Structures are given as C-alpha cells and as structure tokens.
Amino acid sequence: MARRLEGRVAIVTGASSGMGKVTAFQLAREGASVVLAARREEEGEQAAREIRDQGGNAKFIRTDVSIWADVNAMVEFTLREFDALHCAFNNAGLSARGTDQWLDVTEEQWDQMIGINLKGVWLCIRHEVEAMIEAGGGSIVNNSSLFGMRGGGSAPYTASKHGVIGLSKSAAVSFARQKVRVNAVAPGIIMTPIMEARLADNPEMAGQAGAFIPNGEIGGSEAIAETVTWLLSDESAYITGECISVDGGVMAQLFPPRP
C-alpha cells in the first residue's frame, strides 16, 4: 500500500511530547520528512533521533512559536534541509491549568496563553503558507480544543482555542485559490503526559472522564495523529475551513451524564 505522505515535507510544532510527538512519528511512517519544532530541546532532539532510528527522516529545531524570528527560522530551516514545505500540524500550545478562575488570571498569564496558543498559530500559518504556495500547494492543520467550540472555565484558554478555529477558517478562505488547505482538530479528553499527571494526582478523574465520554474511554494521541494525517493527505483534498472534533462523542451529546 502506498504511503499517504510519500515525498512530502511536514512541520510539527510542540513535537517534543504528547499529540505533537505521536503525530510526528505517524507522519514519518506515512513517508513524510518531518521537522519537529518545540521549546524543549533535549526531548525534541531525542524524538527526531527515534524517528531516524525507525527508518524515517526527521530533524529538530528549537522554536518558540510566539516569536516571529523563531517561526521564520523554523520554516527557513525546513526549506534548507528538505527544499520544500507541504504539510504542517500547528500543535504547540499551553494547557488551561492554573487559569480556570476568571478573577485570578493575571495579565501575564493572559499574554502568555494568547501569545503561544493564538499568536503562535497565526505566526506559523503566516510563514508556512508562503512556502506552501511556492511548492504549489499544501495542507495545514491547527490544534484547537473542545473549548474552542464551547465555553470553559479558563478565559484565556477558551478565547485562544476559539481564535484558532477562526484563524483556520480565515486562512482557508484566503488561500484556497493558491491550493493551500487549512483545517483544525478539536481534541476531547486525550491521554497525554499532562493528562497522565492529572490522573496520577486524582485517580478518580479517570472514571469521571469515562462516564462523561459517550464511548466510555479517554482517547489516545494516536486518534489525533490519524485524523491529522488524513487532513494533511490527498484523501481530504476537498475539505478546507473545517474543525473536526476527535472526542469519542462528547460534542454530540445534549447533556452530559450525571455523576
């Protein structure tokens, strides 16, 4: 069977762990040359080495997506190493932890959250699109959240994730004629290192989460990776400007079950 991303070049931000890392491995298995970008250099370099050890093609560059010069350098590095850019998963972001009390959120927390979760996605699209147009087209997937589609306790997180969906739709319309597609995914409750830490602190949360999810299970990062891979591939060639919930049915229910 032909690999879906054979010969393509992809960027994955926030690729040192969690959904970003798992997706980077998946894209490499599907034939893409992958640039892993993250702030944590040691973990990012290790992930890239693991991909190469498995026969894939991967490079790492330290990147803070909230900084214009870093994002520009990320794309220039990609073009220098692999000569083109066709795909991107803009995944880097902060979680809502510590910002769920409206009246306790500081200006510094707000600026940091918006700077990484929203401005960071804008900067990535801004620089990636130019390279994709040069390559004749491409596909971008941005990582939002269910809190980008419904209200949540964290003001900066919810605002930033709503903004990611709006940015995705704006870019999709703006660059469709240049053959660049832009979509988003909205992960539900996913077993990432952050979630694992939360469950370790509160083991009862696993049962509560399972009761809240219609299919009864916390999702794995592989579910996000598979959805992103499909959106980046030609199999979704007529889809742009959409946000796909990957949540085990959470968004489909009118009322969550009672505890």
Q: Rounded CA gap, 23 and 193, in Å?
A: 14
CB distance 182 to 168 below 8 Å: yes
Q: Which member of 25, 60, 122, 157 is catalytic?
A: 157
Q: How far from chain centre, in Å, is Cα 33? A: 17
Nearest CA to 70 among 13, 20, 27, 139? 13
Tell me, yes or no, if 238 is annotated catalytic: no
Q: How many CB atoms lie within 10 A of CB 196?
A: 11
One-letter identity of residue 137:
G
Distances (CA, A) of 112 to 38, 83, 115, 194, 257: 16, 33, 5, 18, 34
- For the record, the structure tokens of 105 come out as 């959120």
One-letter identity of residue 126:
R
- For the record, the structure tokens of 106 come out as 């500081």
Q: Rounded CA gap, 229 and 41, in Å?
A: 24
CB distance 124 to 65 below 8 Å: yes
- E strand or H helix at 167: helix 155-175
Q: Rounded CA gap, 249 and 64, in Å?
A: 33
Residues labelled catalytic: 157
